[in-house]
């Protein structure tokens, strides 16, 4: 009886202490609980909104592709309809561009469709090897479309098992062992996409197709010549350098090499230089406009990111900063001139990208900008 009374008393004392702590503590837990609850509710609403758009988008695109198929087969019943699916991201789509040429070479008379998400549609619209850009809502919509009988041949460049809306992508072809934890162990992005889609492994130079209208728009910016393009921030913090180092590097290039800096990307990182030595185009350009600005540059300096793939594709010499990324100590995502060293210097850190010293990057820029001094020979 005494034990029971003691346990009851102890439980009540403990509860009273907890209540007192919550009520009297200066670290009130109520705002924290409210914030977390708000985040959960917002995530749920976002998911519901996402799903509410999914099915109308699928229905619309199903009817659209069915009509295209009907029209094509009516003209030529033997003409195949081939679909390539790689929804995003920027670097992936640019790196995977040679696949469009390979598919066109394999299916010369085919009607080729590329499924992509809206932000990257312009890359496919300008590709002369693709007949139709299909802007899908998300990977789940692609999964539903792939299960229909709309296509004669499917080239799916996504990893097996990738999820969207809790629905996994089930693939019956390609290397199913490649996933987000090990993919760079299998080579470049282009090589990886070939392996997961059961294509021959390609190692071609990627291309970006820039329309004349985009070139004319960039003409109106009246950019100086020559200049160096900076892209300072990727979508992953582990790939990024430090803001102070970017600013120090920019200052050295302007003062010692006399070249202005043009910054591209979603937001400005440098924004410390004044006058004509620095032009901030961050947040002002489309993907293809960014590609054209990079194409005109003397050099591209940046971290491993989508714009770095654009620089490779347009043939601008690059100085690219690399460090450890997730489980990958050292990796090489590129093909072409950035992979074989002919058109780039890849600077690898002994650790994270932030560990790369400014001097090492500046020396790589200086080596390319300033030609080696001629050695005079004297006759005796």
Asked if 157 contacts 138 with a C-beta cutoff of 8 angstroms, the reply is: no
Distance CA 160, CA 180 (A): 10
Task: Give 37-81 pLDDT, tens digit per residue.
Answer: 677 676 666 666 677 889 999 999 999 999 999 999 999 999 999
Residue 141 has pLDDT above 80, yes or no: yes
Residue 372 has pLDDT above 70, yes or no: no
Residue 188 has pLDDT above 70, yes or no: yes
pLDDT for the residue numbered 3:
44
pLDDT category, 112, cuts 50, 70, 90? very high
pLDDT for the residue numbered 215:
98
pLDDT for the residue numbered 33:
65
In this prediction, residues 113-136 reach a mean pLDDT of 97
Chain mean pLDDT for the chain: 88
| Same domain? 115 vs 218 | no
> How many domains are contained in the chain?
2
- 302-313 as b/e, with b when 16 or more CB fall inside 10 Å? bbbbbbbbbbbb
Residue 176 has pLDDT above 90, yes or no: yes
Instruction: Choose the final residue of a domain: 196, 231, 253.
Output: 196
pLDDT category, 271, cuts 50, 70, 90? confident
Query: CATH code at 165?
Result: 3.40.50
pLDDT category, 20, cuts 50, 70, 90? low
Task: Give 193-243 pLDDT, tens digit per residue.
Answer: 999 999 999 999 999 999 999 999 999 999 999 999 999 999 888 899 999
Q: Which domain holds residue 365?
A: 212-369
Residue 379 has pLDDT above 60, yes or no: no
| Same domain? 220 vs 365 | yes
Let me know if 290 is exposed, middle or buried by CB neighbors in 10 A (0-12, 13-18, 19+).
buried
pLDDT for the residue numbered 26:
46
Which H/E stretch holds residue 280?
strand 278-280
Let me know if 268 is exposed, middle or buried by CB neighbors in 10 A (0-12, 13-18, 19+).
middle
Give the least confident one: 15-29, 109-123, 170-184: 15-29
Distance CA 347, CA 121 (A): 31
pLDDT for the residue numbered 29:
56
Neighbours of 16 (CB within 10 A): 10
pLDDT for the residue numbered 262:
96
Asked if 308 contacts 302 with a C-beta cutoff of 8 angstroms, the reply is: yes
pLDDT for the residue numbered 95:
98
pLDDT for the residue numbered 370:
77
Handedness of CA 355, 295, 340, 366 (dihedral sign): negative
pLDDT for the residue numbered 52:
80
Query: CATH code at 340?
Result: 3.40.50.2000
* Phi, psi (deg, nearest 5) at residue 348: -100, 135
Asked if 322 contacts 240 with a C-beta cutoff of 8 angstroms, the reply is: no
Distance CA 306, CA 281 (A): 16
| Same domain? 242 vs 165 | no
Instruction: Give the neighbor-by-neighbor strand order of the sheet with 228-231.
Output: 278-280, 261-263, 228-231, 299-303, 318-322, 344-348
Q: Which of 331, 369, 335 has its CA nearest to residue 249?
A: 369
| Same domain? 309 vs 354 | yes
Looking at the domain assignment, is residue 253 inside a domain? yes
pLDDT for the residue numbered 300:
98
Residue 373 has pLDDT above 50, yes or no: no
Task: Give 238-266 pLDDT, tens digit per residue.
Answer: 899 999 999 999 999 999 999 999 999 99
- Compute the C-alpha angle 351/354/357, nearest 5°: 95
Residue 113 has pLDDT above 60, yes or no: yes
Instruction: Choose the final residue of a domain: 196, 227, 252.
Output: 196
Distance CA 181, CA 198 (A): 20
| Same domain? 184 vs 216 | no
Residues 6+ positions from 173 with CB-CB distance below 8 Å: 156, 197, 198
pLDDT for the residue numbered 201:
97
């Amino acid at each position: 009886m005494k034990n029971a009374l003691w346990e009851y008393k102890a439980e009540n004392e403990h509860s009273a202490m907890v209540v007192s702590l919550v009520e009297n503590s200066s670290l009130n837990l109520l705002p924290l609980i409210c914030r977390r609850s708000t985040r959960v509710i917002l995530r749920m609403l976002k998911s519901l909104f996402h799903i509410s758009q999914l099915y109308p988008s699928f229905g619309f695109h199903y009817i659209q592709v069915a009509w295209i198929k009907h029209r094509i087969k009516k003209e030529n019943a033997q003409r195949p309809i081939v679909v390539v699916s790689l929804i995003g991201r920027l670097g992936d789509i640019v790196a995977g561009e040679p696949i469009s040429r390979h598919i066109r070479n394999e299916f010369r008379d085919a009607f080729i469709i590329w499924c992509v998400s809206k932000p990257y549609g312009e890359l496919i619209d300008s590709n002369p090897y693709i007949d139709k850009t299909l802007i899908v809502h998300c990977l789940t919509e692609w999964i539903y479309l792939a299960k229909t009988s709309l296509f004669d041949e499917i080239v799916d460049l996504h990893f097996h098992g990738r999820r969207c809306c809790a629905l996994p992508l089930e693939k019956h072809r390609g290397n199913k062992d490649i996933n987000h934890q090990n993919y760079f162990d299998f080579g470049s992005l282009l090589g990886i996409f070939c392996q997961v889609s059961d294509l021959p492994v390609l190692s071609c130079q990627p291309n970006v197709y820039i329309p004349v209208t985009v070139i004319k728009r960039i003409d109106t910016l009246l950019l100086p010549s020559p200049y160096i393009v900076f892209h300072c921030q990727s979508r992953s913090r582990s790939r990024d350098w430090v803001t102070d180092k970017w600013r120090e590097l920019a200052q050295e290039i302007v003062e010692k090499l006399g070249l202005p800096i043009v910054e591209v990307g979603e937001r400005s990182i440098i924004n410390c230089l004044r006058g004509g030595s620095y032009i901030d185009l961050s947040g002002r350009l489309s993907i293809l406009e960014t590609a054209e600005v990079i194409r005109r540059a003397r050099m591209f300096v940046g971290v491993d990111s989508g714009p770095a793939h654009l620089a490779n594709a347009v043939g601008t010499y690059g100085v690219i900063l690399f460090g450890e990324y997730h489980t990958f100590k050292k990796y090489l995502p590129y093909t072409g001139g950035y992979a074989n060293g002919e058109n780039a210097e890849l600077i690898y850190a002994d650790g994270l990208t932030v560990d790369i010293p400014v001097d090492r990057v500046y020396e790589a820029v200086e080596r390319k900008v300033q030609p080696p001094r001629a050695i005079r020979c004297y006759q005796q």
